[in-house]
């Protein structure tokens, strides 16, 4: 039972009762608290997490291009901060007709001082050496190849070398000093001038250049708070409410935009940001062996339909490495990067197989219940043993299996949920090493650092 506290009044909207159910608790009046969700289920913590996590399923309104939850390509690990019109068109030519929907231009598209490694965030002036005809020409060329162009911003900050760096009266302060972390200063989103400035620099650029996808990055932390309120913490809260209002403004001004929530990969995997974006990039661990472990760890927190898992593909990758990287994307939304335009014919065929199967099973990943098996690794950076994630619906299931250091001779997954089912498709370096018998899926002698995805159907 929930009773009013002080001047607050509570209401709850529920699913079918009795439990399991989700109650959405809000308050109004003086001292309004953030919304809270409460649930009770039969089962363990994973079942409770899944029920709460699924509350994001229908928010925000899904842009039409997101209905099939398509794959993404981000060129960050291709150019490492030096995108150009020419290299983006080379990527678009390779990705045309592949099943990838979005091609995202990452950091490096704006002008930078001659001695700076990265661009000077804040002014957001297009680098005409890299994009001699402007961003619209590149975006249009990407669309001509059947892809939706996307672009990266880190619009909450500014860096040395930009004119914006010197706008200190419109930036956050702490104890009277401009708040500076590393090489970043932070716009004060309580200030209306900041919203109008970014309306022009961010929303205006997206609209004028016909972008359909926005990656929002945020790579430093302002700490315990800022001046301008009763306490540093209240200053932080009010500032962050301003940031969220600007996210809402982007969606209002550009209702078809797909927004990616990124923050050095992970430290904005919170309800307020997940609720306002189409997907979240879960980690900057782009090429580490721990990616499958991190992705599996995030399943209870981030809806898999919104959890972007990267596979960085290199022309030097072995078949084993390709399958290991690509299999991890079956733990959420597929995001590719790297040298896809330089892959061999055989390697590209492997990628196309992964994209096609991922597109086929994405509805299952989005709506199925997940079960984790294997031997949990103490270390994410140096994983040992093996793990599996089993997605199950009433008519199909997907087993995503990875081995790590000291892999067992046989990885066996008991499929009590999938009695009398059959193997419909296998994505693996050696498909014949996987077999299903007596409701047990066995991977024989997989070796270290192997990855596989197995589709099961009735």
Query: What digits encode the pLDDT tens for the residues 248-264?
Result: 999 999 999 999 999 87
pLDDT interval class at 44 (50, 70, 90): confident
pLDDT interval class at 119 (50, 70, 90): low
pLDDT recorded at residue 144: 98
Question: How far apart (Å, rounded) are the C-alpha atoms in residues 259 and 63?
Answer: 10
pLDDT recorded at residue 37: 74
Alpha helices in 159-277 (DSSP H): 192-198, 204-208, 232-253, 271-274
Phi, psi of 275, rounded to the nearest 5 degrees: -70, -20
- CB-facing half-sphere around the CA of 135: CA atoms within 13 A: 25
- Residues 205, 209, 215: CA angle, nearest 5 degrees: 65
| Cβ contact 334:71 at 8 Å | yes
Q: Tell me the β-bridge partners of 444.
A: 410
**Average pLDDT, stretch 29-33?**
58
Residue intervals in the chain for CATH 2.60.40: 369-457
CATH topology of domain 68-365: TIM Barrel (3.20.20)
| Cβ contact 329:281 at 8 Å | no
The average confidence (pLDDT) of the chain is 89
**Average pLDDT, stretch 96-119?**
85
Domain 369-457: CATH class, spelled out:
mainly beta
Most confident of 24-33, 49-58, 227-236: 227-236
Closest CA to 137 of 125, 123, 126: 126
Q: Is 46 left (phi over 0), alpha (psi -120 to 50) or beta?
A: alpha
pLDDT interval class at 6 (50, 70, 90): very low
Prediction pTM value: 0.91
pLDDT recorded at residue 3: 37
Question: How far apart (Å, rounded) are the C-alpha atoms in residues 402 and 48?
Answer: 25
pLDDT interval class at 85 (50, 70, 90): very high
Question: How far apart (Å, rounded) are the C-alpha atoms in residues 156 and 185?
Answer: 9
Q: Tell me the β-bridge partners of 384.
A: 405
Residue intervals in the chain for CATH 3.20.20.70: 68-365
What token pair was written down for 429? 């370096």
CA distances from 386 to 235, 365, 411, 425, 451 (A): 45, 20, 7, 21, 10
Dihedral sign for Cα 380, 56, 46, 365, please: negative
- Residues 82, 83, 88: CA angle, nearest 5 degrees: 155
The answer on pLDDT for 8 being more than 80 is no
pLDDT digits (tens, 9 = 90+) for 168-221: 999 999 999 999 999 999 999 999 999 999 999 999 999 999 999 999 999 988
Range of weakest confidence among 39-43, 82-86, 353-357, 407-411? 39-43
Burial of 147 (0-12, 13-18, 19+ CB in 10 A): buried
| Cβ contact 388:425 at 8 Å | no
Specify the DSSP class assigned to residue 170.
G
The answer on pLDDT for 435 being more than 60 is yes
Question: How far apart (Å, rounded) are the C-alpha atoms in residues 386 and 384?
Answer: 7
Question: How far apart (Å, rounded) are the C-alpha atoms in residues 365 and 330?
Answer: 8
At 371 the three-state DSSP class reads strand
């Amino acid at each position: 039972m929930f009773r009013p506290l002080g001047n607050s009044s509570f209401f709850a909207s529920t699913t079918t009762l009795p439990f399991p159910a989700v109650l959405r608790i809000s308050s109004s009046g003086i001292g309004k608290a953030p919304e809270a969700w409460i649930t009770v289920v039969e089962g363990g913590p994973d079942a409770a997490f899944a029920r709460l996590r699924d509350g994001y399923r229908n928010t925000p309104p899904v842009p039409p291009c997101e209905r099939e939850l398509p794959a993404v390509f981000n060129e960050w690990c291709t150019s490492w901060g030096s995108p150009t019109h020419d290299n983006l068109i080379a990527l678009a030519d390779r990705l045309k007709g592949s099943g990838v929907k979005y091609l995202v231009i990452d950091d490096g598209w704006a002008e930078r001082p001659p001695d700076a490694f990265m661009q000077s965030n804040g002014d957001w002036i297009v680098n005409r050496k890299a994009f001699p005809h402007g961003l619209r020409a590149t975006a249009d060329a990407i669309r001509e190849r059947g892809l939706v162009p996307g672009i990266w911003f880190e619009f909450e900050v500014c860096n040395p070398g930009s004119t914006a760096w010197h706008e200190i009266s419109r930036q956050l302060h702490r104890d009277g000093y401009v708040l500076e972390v590393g090489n970043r200063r932070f716009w004060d989103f309580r200030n209306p001038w900041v919203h109008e400035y970014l309306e022009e620099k961010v929303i205006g650029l997206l609209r004028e250049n016909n972008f359909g996808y926005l990656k929002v990055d945020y790579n430093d932390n302002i700490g315990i708070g800022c001046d301008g309120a009763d306490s540093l913490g209240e200053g932080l809260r009010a500032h962050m409410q301003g940031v969220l209002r600007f996210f809402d403004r982007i969606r209002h001004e550009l209702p078809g935009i797909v927004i990616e929530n990124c923050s050095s990969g992970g430290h904005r995997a919170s309800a307020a940001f997940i609720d306002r974006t189409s997907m979240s990039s879960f980690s900057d661990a782009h090429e580490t062996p721990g990616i499958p472990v991190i992705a599996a760890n995030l399943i209870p927190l981030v809806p898999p339909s919104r959890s972007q898992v990267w596979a960085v593909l290199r022309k030097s990758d072995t078949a084993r490495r390709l399958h290991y990287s690509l299999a991890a994307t079956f733990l959420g939304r597929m995001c590719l990067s790297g040298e896809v335009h330089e892959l061999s014919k055989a390697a590209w065929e492997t990628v196309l197989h992964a994209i096609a199967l991922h597109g086929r099973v994405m509805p299952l990943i989005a709506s199925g219940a997940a079960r984790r098996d294997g031997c949990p690794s103490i270390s994410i950076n140096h994983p040992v043993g093996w793990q599996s994630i089993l997605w199950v619906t009433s008519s199909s299931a997907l087993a995503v299996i990875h081995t790590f250091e000291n892999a067992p001779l046989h990885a066996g997954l008991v499929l009590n949920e999938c009695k009398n089912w059959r193997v419909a498709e296998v994505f693996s370096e050696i498909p014949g090493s996987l077999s299903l018998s007596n409701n047990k899926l066995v991977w024989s002698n997989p070796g270290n650092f192997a990855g596989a995805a197995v589709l099961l159907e009735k």
